[in-house]
């Protein structure tokens, strides 16, 4: 229950006196007050003019009072990265609500009253312990984006596939225990993104092919019965998967698309329908041809060991209480020269940040042009007034000045775009609240090349001409988190590299701000294979902390991944 203290919090008092439409409460300072007050200040629920309310990163916040229903003008309610155990039924009174984000909490269920939110457009329930979704979601006719990833769902409710949800364009339901995708998915005429990766699906419905606007799908991490389909899924071939399902035809069952003609003696192709089949299916010649094709489709990663790579990272004691975990890796063979390869790579990195890294709260990725830094590297912790970096697209400055500048920009954005979240680097500022030292990666010449989770250095920025990349992943959570994110990043790089070579795109714009000399086509990699060079991370005395990739890394079950160690 929220506290009843006499002292009104300064932010709440200011919002009331100035008739503010926005209120943001987050971070260590807010969390301490919640803990001492045994909840939120009760005066909060009298701010009926609020359009935007955010309460985030407060582990002491376990409950939202039913008086939240008083804030009837709310259009955005952000309650992410707390420890909230339940959402009150009074949430259904917020008839103007368009965005509801209760991600990264400890919720086990969502009240059915959510279905009363007829204006709701975005619903984020990710990273909780929810086992089932409420009934009646089809009443939220303006819903366009739903994220229920990293929960305990065994199924998606039938009314999520209602024809009434004609604006629903994105469904993210990865890392659950969902074992079936409804054939009614074809009712979602606006569906563009569907992510059901890392679930328990064994079949995909042919009706998925009827979603005409579907452009991005992810079913990786499911054990599909149709192994050819599974390989297309693991190869990130969205168009091929959808074409394959469409060719399967309706009414022939699931998961065995295009198998009918072959298993009936190729009768449809003019063969004798009653010709006896040899034991074991198709003849050896055809099997060998398929195996050769499968081998060509594989993503090949070749690992060179530490002795082949002089890059090491030393870890200073100062990062222990800030962001103690780091892994690194050197990658050769990534072709960023052709077409939009670089842009695709940067977009993939952003997506990993938003999803797998939980908006950089659990981990942060940084990529560098290896030729522009000098090893060995030092992972250090420095005070805000001594850490200096050349941020991407900016001049060299101290960390304290950079954060002050970003904070000013954030405030200007909020004034210009009321009720909108800030974007870019600004939304990560709170991750450094209360820190006396900031983490940074420094090369042998003393240049700070990375300032996680905020920015990289412009000095080591990757370009189309980059031939060798140094990758780093840092985390305040665990070393395994770093490794998992690095695994995902490298596999995505292998997929993108294969796509680039398979499509042989012409050179095009990649979004680079400055012009640069583009090497001749023949100067780049000649095939999609990537070579990984291990990077050692040691303490200041030289004792090994971690080496990546080790034999236990990059072992995810994937039919199209081949790692040569």
For 44-55, write each residue's pLDDT tens digit.
999 999 999 999
**pLDDT above 80 (res 276):** no
At 50 the pLDDT is 94
- Choose between 88 and 525: higher pLDDT: 88
Hey, what are 188's tokens? 């979602």
CA proximity to 362, closest of 489, 475, 472: 475
Q: Which residue has the higher pLDDT, 276 or 146?
A: 146
Tell me the β-bridge partners of 439: 381
In the chain, the percentage of residues whose pLDDT exceeds 90 is 52
- Rounded Cα distance, 421 and 58, in Å: 18
Percentage of the chain modeled with pLDDT above 70: 81
Query: pLDDT tens-digit profile of 83-99?
Result: 999 999 999 999 999 99
Res 361 pLDDT > 50: yes
Residue written as tokens 């780049």?
Answer: 524
Q: How confident is the model at residue 231 (pLDDT cuts 50, 70, 90)?
A: confident
* Residue 242 and residue 234 in contact, taking contact as beta carbons nearer than 8 Å: no
Domains of the chain, earliest start first: 10-254 (3.80.10.10), 302-386+434-564 (3.50.40.10)
Greater confidence (114 vs 479) lies with 114
**Range with the lowest mean pLDDT among 175-179, 391-395, 433-437?**
433-437
- Give the residue among 30, 70, 79 at the shortest CA–CA distance from 49: 70
pLDDT computed for residue 525 by the predictor: 62
**Is the pLDDT confidence value at 417 over 80?**
no
Please state the rounded mean pLDDT for residues 386-403.
91
- Look at residue 421 in the predicted model and tell me its pLDDT: 52
Q: Report the pLDDT value the prediction gives residue 281, as an integer from 0 to 100.
A: 47
Half-sphere exposure (Cβ direction) of 430: Cα atoms closer than 13 Å: 20
Which of 196-205, 284-293, 515-524 has maximum average pLDDT? 196-205
Bridge partners of residue 325, in order along the sequence: 475
Question: What are the distances in angstroms from CA 440 to CA 228, 317, 349, 490, 536?
Answer: 45, 12, 19, 22, 17
Q: Indicate if the pLDDT at residue 512 is higher than 50.
A: no
**Hey, is 164 helix, strand or coil?**
coil
Q: In this model, does residue 457 exceed pLDDT 90? A: yes
The predicted model gives 261-288 an average pLDDT of 40
Backbone angles phi, psi at 109, to 5 degrees: -155, 165
State the pLDDT at residue 249.
38
Work out the average pLDDT over 418-431.
59
Q: Is the pLDDT of residue 429 over 60?
A: yes
pLDDT for the residue numbered 434: 78
CA distance 301 to 441: 26
Q: What is the mean pLDDT of residues 341-369?
A: 89
Q: In b/e form, how buried is each residue of 181-201, taking b as 16+ CB within 10 angstroms?
A: bbeebbbbeebbebbbbbbeb
- To 5 degrees, how large is the angle CA 368–CA 372–CA 375? 85
């Amino acid at each position: 229950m929220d506290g009843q203290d006499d002292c009104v919090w300064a932010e709440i008092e200011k919002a009331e006196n100035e008739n503010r439409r926005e209120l943001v409460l987050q971070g260590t300072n807010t969390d301490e007050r919640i803990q001492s007050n045994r909840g939120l200040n009760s005066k909060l629920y009298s701010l009926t003019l609020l359009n935007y309310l955010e309460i985030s990163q407060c582990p002491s916040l376990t409950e939202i009072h039913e008086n939240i229903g008083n804030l009837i003008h709310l259009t955005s309610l952000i309650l992410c990265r707390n420890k909230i155990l339940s959402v009150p039924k009074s949430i259904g009174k917020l008839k103007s609500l368009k965005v509801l984000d209760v991600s990264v909490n400890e919720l086990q269920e969502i009240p059915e009253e959510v279905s009363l939110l007829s204006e709701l457009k975005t619903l984020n329930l990710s990273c909780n312990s929810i086992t089932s979704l409420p009934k009646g979601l089809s009443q939220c006719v303006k819903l366009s984006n739903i994220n229920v990833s990293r929960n305990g769902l065994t199924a998606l409710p039938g009314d999520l596939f209602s024809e009434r949800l004609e604006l629903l364009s994105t469904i993210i339901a990865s890392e659950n225990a969902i074992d079936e995708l409804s054939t009614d998915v074809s009712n979602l005429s606006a569906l563009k993104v569907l992510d059901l990766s890392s679930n328990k699906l064994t079949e995909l419905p042919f009706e998925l092919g009827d979603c005409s606007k579907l452009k991005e799908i992810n079913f990786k991490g499911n054990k599909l019965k149709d192994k050819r389909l599974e390989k297309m899924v693991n190869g990130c071939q969205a168009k091929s998967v959808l074409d394959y399902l469409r060719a399967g035809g309706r009414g022939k069952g699931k998961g065995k698309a295009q198998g009918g003609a072959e298993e009936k003696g190729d009768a449809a192709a003019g063969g004798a329908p009653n010709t006896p089949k040899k034991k074991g299916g198709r003849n050896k010649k055809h099997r060998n041809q398929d195996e050769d094709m499968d081998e060509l489709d594989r993503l090949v990663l070749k690992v060179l060991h530490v002795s082949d790579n002089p890059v090491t990272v030393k870890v200073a004691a100062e990062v222990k209480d800030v962001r103690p975990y780091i892994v690194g890796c050197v990658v050769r063979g990534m072709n960023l020269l052709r077409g939009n390869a670089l842009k695709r790579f940067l977009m993939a990195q952003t997506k990993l940040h938003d999803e797998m890294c939980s908006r950089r709260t659990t981990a942060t990725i940084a990529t560098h042009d290896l030729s522009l830094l000098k090893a060995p590297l030092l992972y250090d912790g420095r005070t805000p007034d001594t850490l200096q970096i050349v941020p991407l697209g900016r001049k060299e400055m101290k960390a304290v000045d950079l954060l002050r500048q970003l904070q000013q920009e954030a405030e200007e954005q909020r004034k210009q775009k009321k009720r909108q979240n800030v974007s870019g680097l600004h939304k990560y500022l709170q991750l450094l609240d209360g820190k006396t030292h900031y983490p940074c990666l420094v090369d042998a010449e003393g240049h700070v090349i990375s300032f996680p989770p905020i920015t990289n250095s412009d000095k080591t920025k990757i370009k189309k001409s980059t031939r060798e990349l140094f990758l780093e992943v840092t985390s305040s959570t665990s070393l395994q988190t770093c490794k998992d994110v690095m695994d995902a990043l490298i596999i995505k790089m292998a997929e993108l590299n294969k796509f680039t070579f398979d499509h042989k795109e012409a050179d095009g714009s990649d979004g680079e701000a400055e012009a640069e000399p583009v090497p001749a086509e023949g100067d780049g990699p000649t095939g999609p294979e990537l070579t990984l060079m291990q990077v050692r991370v040691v303490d200041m005395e030289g004792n090994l902390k971690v080496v990546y990739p080790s034999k236990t890394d990059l072992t995810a079950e994937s039919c199209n991944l081949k790692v040569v160690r």
